[in-house]
Amino acid sequence: MIRYYLLIMGIFLAFGLIPKSHRLMNALAAGNGMLHLVVSCVALSVLDLPGRLGESLYLDHLNLYVELITALGFTAAAFYARGYTDSLMEAGELDPKNLKTFYLAFNLLLITATVALFSDNLALFWIFAELTTVCAAMLVAILSARENIDAALKYVFIVSGAMLFAFLGLIFLFTLSEQALGEGTLNWTELAAHVSEFSPALLLASFTFMFIGFGAKAGAAPFHTWLPDAYARAPSVSAILSGLMQNLGIYGIIRMYALLRESGAAPQASSILLAAGVFSIALASFSMFQQRNLKRLIAFSSVEHMGLLLIGIGIGTPLALFWALFYMLVHVLVKETLLFSAGILHRQYRSNMRENMWDVFKLQPRAAWSLILGSIAIVGMPPFPLFPAKFFILLESAAISPYLTLAILLMLILAAASFANFLLKAFSKVTLEEEIEGQITRPHSLTGEAELKIAAGEADHDEIRLPRKYAVKSGMRIPAVFMLALALALGFYFPDSLTDLLDAIILELGYV
């Protein structure tokens, strides 16, 4: 079945290379995302899960849930991409000749991620997860600036280097299955059925190696070093997709930990996840406080959230996993809102640095409010849905150690203070000096309309003193509003169908 899927998608990609119109290329990308979204929903509704399609395709509630999140984020990013890439080309930052390469990598990213998620064979999962790294790196390097190429190379070297450890873990796992079953296998379903027969010590070694690879993919500390540069240097839409790929790393960790829960190595594996989670939150929280670069702030926030996800998985209880799974969905919704808004501010100021932002509420009020509301959501304040997710994961962590819970809570408060600190310093800057002194200084660049009004003596104060306002392209605001609205809706209403889906995942992974 994977061959048929790749054949169909190959034809689709070839068709996507034909049009010269940006509108058509973008429509194909958005259609690709929506197609995967609809098919995932239909599969969840009509298929008897878990089940296999052919020899190597495995469908269960977990991989369909992660595919649903990926396709949703991809579709929103596709709608955002049209206006954003138009803006890059107008500014001369993106060569129009590279537009087809951009959309080719854009679509390939979803296709390779889909094959990775639905592969029953862990070796296939590893191969296609590696291919997503290559596709995401192409999107980071698409601007061809030296800093972008450096960030892309750093991304590839760190993640691919770490994934070699994961490959070593797969060899361990294959050897273990060969010793226990007489014939080696890396099929998830066969491993899950026989894992209790494997040596716990070697199984733990295999898990540790694979955690290094998948942890790097997820952006967990200390393997996170590619993440701030990739977020800061990549075009916003590319950073969004890199962020989506983090869920792929978390997915691999959930799968491997579910295997170990059936063996005597589960407590040690849990300790590894908890230690990595606490370290990720600590490193991210302290790194965020002094950040002056908006995208690096958002990147370190992702490291923090990956840490909390690892803790939720490592606690190992059904309730903690339930909220960790929910966390994966909401994190993508809110993080895309932040990156969409940050992208608009970047086009306005041509910078991500807070000292270069002023008069934000005059120039980009909607992006400013999206960023503020997104920040409130990402730090986990009610009524946004990260609040119950964080609350219940922390509540479950208290059963392990109240001191652990207290330490995590303090670090989360520091991370929240970092967002408040950044927004206060970036958004409170207005051209007060001019107003106080009554000296109206014309900026270097004004819109043509403003120039005409000034010449005619009809311009008001704001039109004279403010720099050129970036005209946000059509389609760039709607995805940010949609993702934030969806996150807010989940804060007020938790659908029964979502509860059933998460419960089904927990049941299939053997937690109950």
Question: What's the burial of 353, exposed, middle or buried (CB within 10 Å: 0-12/13-18/19+)?
Answer: middle
For residue 230, pLDDT beyond 50: yes
Instruction: Report residue 469: phi and psi, to 5°.
Output: -85, 130
For residue 70, pLDDT beyond 90: yes
Amino acid (1-letter code) at residue 434: E
Q: What is the pLDDT of residues 405-449, one digit of tens each?
A: 999 999 999 999 999 999 999 988 776 555 555 444 444 444 445
Highest mean pLDDT: which range of 76-90, 217-231, 268-282: 268-282
What 3-state DSSP class applies to 57?
strand
Calpha distance 212→326 (Å, rounded): 24
- The Cα angle at residue 66 between residues 482 and 198, in degrees rounded to 5: 160
CB 346 within 8 A of CB 376: no
What 3-state DSSP class applies to 384?
coil
Identify which has the larger pLDDT, 397 or 472: 397
Please give the pLDDT value at position 57: 86
Residue 30's pLDDT band (boundaries 50, 70, 90)?
Answer: very high
Average pLDDT over every residue of 306-321: 95
CB 172 within 8 A of CB 206: yes
Calpha distance 157→50 (Å, rounded): 36
Residue 467's pLDDT band (boundaries 50, 70, 90)?
Answer: low
Task: Report the run of H or E that residue 53 belongs to, with start and end.
Answer: strand 51-53
Mean pLDDT of the chain: 87
